[in-house]
Structure formats: C-alpha cells, structure tokens
Amino acid sequence: MTRTGLVVALVIGALAGLTFGLFPELDLAVSRLFAPEGTFTLGADPVLNFVRHAGMVIVGLLVAPAGLALVLKLARPRRPLLVRGRAIVFLFSTLLLGPLLATNIVLKDHWGRPRPRDVIAFGGAQPFLPWWDPRGRCPANCSFVAGEAAGAFWTVAPASLAPPPWRPLAYAGALTFGAVIGLLRVSFGGHFLSDVVFAGVITFVIVWLVHGWLYRWRRTRLTDEAVEQAIERFALALRRPFAAAASGRLAGRRAEAGPDRQG
C-alpha cells in the first residue's frame, strides 16, 4: 500500500466522477450492451450465478482464518494467536468499514439511485439518475454503490498482506476479481458501471487508510503483541463472571456437604 496506489485510485475516482457526471448516458450505454432488447436476461444464467455466489464464498474464505484464530484465542486466552494480531484487526475492520458500513449502510440505504432494471429505459418504472444524484425513489438497498463489487474489491486487503515477491500478483488478482464481480452485476442489471467503479475506489481508499494506521504510520502504528494482549485481556475479562459464579456454586455445595460429614 503505497502513496502511488492511493493517487491512482483518487485519479480514477475523479475521472470517473467527471466522466459519468458530465456524460451520464454512458452508464445507460454500457448497461444496454447487456440488454440489447431492453431486458437483462443474463441474470438467469446458472453458470454466471454460480460465479457470482462463488465470488462471495471466496471473500468469506479469505477472512475465515482470521475469524477462526480470534475464536480460538477467545476460547483459550493463554494460547498464542494463530494469525498475527494486526492482520486480524486489519481484515475485520476494513471489511466492516468498507463493504458493510460505507457501502451497504451509508450509501446503498440512503442514496436513492434506482438500479438499471428498475429504470424506464429497461422496462422499469423509475427515471434514470446519474451517480451524483441521491434523490431517486429507491427506498433502500439501491444502486449506488455496488455492494458485491465492494466486497470483491476488498480482497486488496488480504492481498496487501501477501509476501512482497507475490504482492503485485496478489493485487492484480484482487483487482481483476473485483472487476469481474462488478461486471457480472452490471450484466445482471443490478448496477451501473459507475456504481462498480466507485465501489472499488471507496473500498481501496478505506483499505489504504487502515493499512497506514496499522502498519505504516509510526505515531499510530500498533504491534502484533499489543493486539494479542488486548484480545487476551478481553477474553479473560469475559471469563471472570462465569468463574466467579462457578466458584460460588462450588462453595455452596461444600457448605451443604459440611454438616453431613460432621454427623
């Protein structure tokens, strides 16, 4: 995660914003490639649907080792983490801040841009709106930005943790993965191309910032040991009420058994 990567992402976002803002019909033109007769039919293709769902499974598999390591640490606080502490914080925080919070909660539920299949040009009932206009009639889970594409582009986070010799290839794979899932959503009529582009830009910027906080910026940089100790303290604190309750029950049983033994 370098400054060059951030600059490239911001330039892409600025160019996309200007292009799709000044020429919003480009979104319709790209979507029309997948609906030449006015209807999106690829959404019924079983192979493409399998690829779509497999993509989300891949995202889950990439975060699963961190989740398993966290669960085992909470269950056995004295055991060392199987995954580095900062990696756990990094993967979960970027996944929550990017695809979940920024995309699905902040934008998709409050930016009323209708999806392509819901606009008049493709047989729907709502007027088309450019990406910058949130005043559509879509009540929730709207078009801007693409949620599944954001989840797919999030894979740049685990890619950034790959060994340095493999990192460029990992980045290329993550970006390609995000583009493929995003284009699938465009071909299904679920999103416009601008929704996909901004999903990638927003997700990348969030990953870049969290990576800097955890790994690059000296004033705020955490250590794996500090994260592991914090998890251990939290796990032990969770155990105290149960340990106290168990100790109280044991003391009560001993008190009840005391007179019997004396008699």
> In whole angstroms, what is the distance from residue 109 CA to residue 144 CA?
9
Tens digit of each residue's pLDDT (9 = 90 or more) over 212-238: 999 988 777 788 999 999 999 999 998
The number of residues in the chain equals 263
Tens digit of each residue's pLDDT (9 = 90 or more) over 143-186: 999 999 999 999 999 999 999 999 999 999 999 999 999 999 99
> What is the structure's pLDDT at 263?
44
Assess whether pLDDT exceeds 60 at residue 246: no
Tens digit of each residue's pLDDT (9 = 90 or more) over 98-143: 999 999 999 999 999 999 999 999 999 999 999 999 999 999 999 9
Across the range 57-67, mean pLDDT stands at 96
Assess whether pLDDT exceeds 50 at residue 78: yes
pLDDT grade, residue 245 (50/70/90)? low
Q: DSSP for 35-99, please give it.
A: -TTSS--GGG-HHHHHHHHHHHHHHHHHHHHHHHHHHHHHHSTTSPPSS-HHHHHHHHHHHIIII
Share of residues in the chain with pLDDT > 70 (%): 91
CA–centroid distance for 104 within its chain: 9
pLDDT grade, residue 256 (50/70/90)? low
Tens digit of each residue's pLDDT (9 = 90 or more) over 13-32: 999 999 999 999 999 999 99
- Tell me, letter by letter, the H, E, C secondary structure of 162-188: CCHHHHHHHHHHHHHHHHHHHHHHHHC
**164 phi and psi, to 5 degrees?**
-50, -40
> In whole angstroms, what is the distance from residue 237 CA to residue 222 CA?
22
> In whole angstroms, what is the distance from residue 165 CA to residue 188 CA?
37
Whether domain 3-222 has CATH 3.40.50: the reply is no
CA–centroid distance for 141 within its chain: 16
Which residue type is seen at 2?
Answer: T
> What is the structure's pLDDT at 248?
54
Domain boundaries, the chain: 3-222, 227-263
pTM score of the predicted model: 0.89
**119 phi and psi, to 5 degrees?**
-90, 160
Q: Which residue has the tokens 């999806």?
A: 115
